[in-house]
């Protein structure tokens, strides 16, 4: 299988690249840091293809290059993402736009080039990285949650149309995973999992053809429950999440 993974220079993306390379698949890894990608590529092994997902032309060129030089992409894992803790006092349009441009529009750039190619050949799988944080709006995480909710809704809306053409789309909703992105957090991260375990979980569920890959289960159920609570109870809980002013 030929697997393309974005955001593969560290964290979950790198762990997934390691997993698929170990399993003997042909892996192409993308991210902005060319040197980091190049050294990861040697040990994996994988083919490095540096790019910034916010650059639409670069994403389109990368997909075309893979397909021309190597062959059809069987599985695209659109994982590149960014996260900034955003208290209301620090909210700006720039912060929100930055998260949207990487987490949502970065993914759109890949989708718009991958979908026609996969639909035309009647096969292919796309996995979009979202987050359990996209289930509900929680304090300090608004712009990130909004970008991940957007990914979820987009993927849900595409499932049936793509399935008719033999293409599968999935959404990945992890809870906390230990990576450089969460190493910055100074708050408790319940049921945090290691990146290697996350990668195995994701690969297993994608192979099983699941639409939604969610883990760990306890956090996924807690977030689902939270999203179904009446608003008074829900906001009573989110008020308790506030840090001292």
Ligand X SMILES: NC(=O)c1ccc[n+]([C@@H]2O[C@H](COP(=O)([O-])OP(=O)(O)OC[C@H]3O[C@@H](n4cnc5c(N)ncnc54)[C@H](OP(=O)(O)O)[C@@H]3O)[C@@H](O)[C@H]2O)c1
- Tell me: does residue 99 bind ligand X (CB under 6 A): no
- Tell me: does residue 143 bind ligand X (CB under 6 A): no
Number of residues that bind ligand X (CB under 6 A): 32
Write down the catalytic residue from 20, 83, 144, 234.
Answer: 144
Distance in Å, CB of 142 to ligand X, minimum? 14
Stretch that binds ligand X, among 52-60, 113-121, 158-166, 232-240 (CB under 6 A): 52-60
Binding mask 57-86 for ligand X (x = CB under 6 A): ----------------------xxxxx---
CA atoms of 188 and 80, how far apart (whole Å): 24
- Tell me: does residue 222 bind ligand X (CB under 6 A): no
- Tell me: does residue 170 bind ligand X (CB under 6 A): no
Residue 24 C-beta-side C-alpha neighbours within 13 Å: 0
Residue 70 C-beta-side C-alpha neighbours within 13 Å: 20
- Tell me: does residue 31 bind ligand X (CB under 6 A): yes
- Tell me: does residue 129 bind ligand X (CB under 6 A): yes
135 is catalytic: no
CA atoms of 20 and 46, how far apart (whole Å): 10
- Tell me: does residue 176 bind ligand X (CB under 6 A): yes
**C-beta closer to ligand X: residue 2 or 109:** 109
Q: Counting beta carbons within 10 angstroms of the beta carbon of residue 124, is it exposed (0 to 12), middle (13 to 18) or buried (19 or more)? A: buried
- Residue whose structure tokens are 């690249």: 17
Measuring CA to CA, how many Å separate 70 from each of 56, 73, 106, 118, 238?
A: 21, 9, 23, 15, 49
What residues are annotated to the active site?
Answer: 144
- Contact residues toward ligand X (CB under 6 A) are 6-13, 31-33, 36, 52-54, 79-83, 102-103, 106, 129, 131, 174, 176-177, 179-182
């Amino acid at each position: 299988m030929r697997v393309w993974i974005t955001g593969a220079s560290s964290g979950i993306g790198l762990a997934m690249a390691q997993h698929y390379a170990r399993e003997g698949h042909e892996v192409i890894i993308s991210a902005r840091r060319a040197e980091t990608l190049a050294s990861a590529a040697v040990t994996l092994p994988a083919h490095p293809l540096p790019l910034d997902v916010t650059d639409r032309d670069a994403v389109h060129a990368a997909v075309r290059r893979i397909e021309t030089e190597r062959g059809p992409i069987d599985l695209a894992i659109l994982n590149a993402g960014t996260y900034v803790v955003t208290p209301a006092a620090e909210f700006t349009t720039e912060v929100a736009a930055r998260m949207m441009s990487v987490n949502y529009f970065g993914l759109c750039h890949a989708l718009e080039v991958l979908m026609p190619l996969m639909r035309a050949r009647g096969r292919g799988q796309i996995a979009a990285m979202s987050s359990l944080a996209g289930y509900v709006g929680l304090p300090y995480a608004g712009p990130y949650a909004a970008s991940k909710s957007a990914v979820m809704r987009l993927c849900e809306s595409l499932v049936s149309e793509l399935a008719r053409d033999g293409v599968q789309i999935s959404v990945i909703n992890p809870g906390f995973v230990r990576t450089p992105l969460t190493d910055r957090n100074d708050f408790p991260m319940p049921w945090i999992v290691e990146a290697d375990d996350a990668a195995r979980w994701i690969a297993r569920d994608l192979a099983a053809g699941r639409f939604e890959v969610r883990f760990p289960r306890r956090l996924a159920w807690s977030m689902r429950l939270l999203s179904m609570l009446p608003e008074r109870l829900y906001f009573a809980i989110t008020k308790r999440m506030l840090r001292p002013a």
